[in-house]
Amino acid sequence: MRKIEDERIISEKRRINSNAFSICLLLLWAILLYRQFVLQQNIKEYIDIFLLTIGISVYITINNVFKGLYLTYRNKKERKKVKFIGVIVGTVTFAIVQAFIAGYDFTNTKDVFTMIISIVIFFSTWLIAQNFLLNISEKKANDDIDEE
């Protein structure tokens, strides 16, 4: 005979599994950073972990967008704050990684200018992409509400 589970138990199990998955994803990113910067491995040595991590991240983002859940549960003021923090953190991270990996000579004006241009392009692309994803998600969320 099959045992019937309470909805609260099922919900709690899902929450635990979701948290465990999030921790695993963050640890995968940490492993990638460790292999790149501490062990200084060639990307060929960890490309499988890199592709898996990128794939999972894209999967989560796309599903959130097409389910209408990409930042839509926040009010407009919170959304702006989250978008701003995200773009700043992303841009600073990009700038730091570029400074170490690209090997810019900061005494050379051309290298400094190139670095600034790449940061501005990254910043703009990030903002455009986030706004695009948010617009799709809001449209999907509104479509779901209209259907009910």
Please give the average pLDDT of every successive group of 10 residues along the chain, which has 148 residues. 73 89 91 89 89 90 87 79 88 85 80 90 92 88 70
pTM over 0.85: no
**Per-residue pLDDT tens for 14-49?**
899 899 999 999 999 899 989 988 998 988 898 998
Cα-based distances in Å from 57 to 11, 29, 44, 50, 82: 23, 10, 20, 11, 18
pLDDT of residue 147: 66
Give CA–CA dist 146/148, Å, rounded.
5
Give CA–CA dist 133/71, Å, rounded.
9
**65: CB partners within 8 A, 6+ apart:** 133, 136, 137, 140
pLDDT of residue 140: 86
